[in-house]
Amino acid sequence: MKVAPEVRAVGPTDAVALAAFFEAAGSTCFCRYWHFAGDKNGWLERSAARPEESRAELEASVREARPEGAGLVASADGAIVGWLKLSPRAAVPKLRNLPVYRTLDLGPDDGVLAIGCMLVHPDHREQGVARALITGAIAEAQRQGARCIEAYPRRSPTRLYDEAAFLGPEALYRQLGFEISVDQPPYPVLRRDLSLRP
């Protein structure tokens, strides 16, 4: 029988284990894309040639409990098997500066938590970890008193390869009560009003 993963907010003592999880999952981004100041080519070069810089930044942001390092971890048998970045939208300024979102009226940042990315270890995919993380994010956002939670999945007519699905699956968000706030392919903005309980 499959056991549901334990989902909880990441804490300062998780910094090294979370970075090790990214390595074990084969992800060199270390959830730093949203905080990298350079352009796309600079980001790709850093991810390929200097991932240790991103790893060090992730560890520091989690260890120091900075808003940019906030999120949830899913654990199974004591090991981290999933991650979901859940930060105040204001802590992710790159979001509003990307061409795809720059012209959108997303409203004020106050009370809005943003799901910036999600990663599930390859050995644990298709086992409900993403669902558990999103469900946990909703509960955590409610616990924090947020007025809504947003997600920015990539929409595609065909199944996305795993690395392109780092923003989470649109269908799963919809199943869990998120509604389309801005419908623009290929990057819709989904929102869940937290005054609406599950």
Q: Is residue 39 part of a domain?
A: yes
Question: 139-198 pLDDT, tens per residue?
Answer: 999 999 999 999 999 888 777 767 777 889 999 999 999 999 999 888 899 999 997 555
Asked if the structure places residue 72 within a domain, the reply is yes
For 38-44, what is the mean pLDDT? 93
pLDDT in tens, 83-100: 999 999 999 989 888 888
Mean pLDDT of 54-70: 97
Distance CA 106, CA 90 (A): 12
pLDDT at site 1 = 45
Q: Which domain holds residue 20?
A: 6-193
- Is 65 a member of any domain? yes
**Of the candidates 18, 144, 17, 2, which has an alpha carbon nearest to the alpha carbon of residue 84?**
18
User: What would the two tokens of residue 83 be?
Assistant: 């991650």
* Domain-located, residue 165: yes
* Average pLDDT of the segment spanning 134-141: 98
Of 25, 84, 95, 20, the closest CA to residue 55 belongs to 20
107 is a domain residue: yes
Q: Nearest Cα to 9, choosing from 80, 92, 105, 96?
A: 80
pTM score above 0.95: no
Query: With 60 as the cut, is the pLDDT of residue 21 above it?
Result: yes
Does any domain span residue 198? Answer: no
Q: How far apart are CA 151 and CA 106, in angstroms?
A: 12
d(CA 112, CA 92): 11
d(CA 41, CA 46) in angstroms, rounded, equals 9
Is residue 73 within 8 A of residue 7, CB to CB? The reply is yes
In the chain, the number of structural domains is 1
Q: Is residue 22 part of a domain?
A: yes
Per-residue pLDDT at 26: 92
Quick one: pLDDT at residue 165?
76
The lowest-confidence range among 17-21, 101-105, 122-126, 137-141 is 101-105
CATH number at residue 33: 3.40.630.30
pLDDT for the residue 51: 97
Distances (CA, A) of 193 to 15, 16, 24, 154, 167: 30, 34, 35, 20, 19
What's residue 197's pLDDT? 55
Residue 121, domain member (yes or no): yes
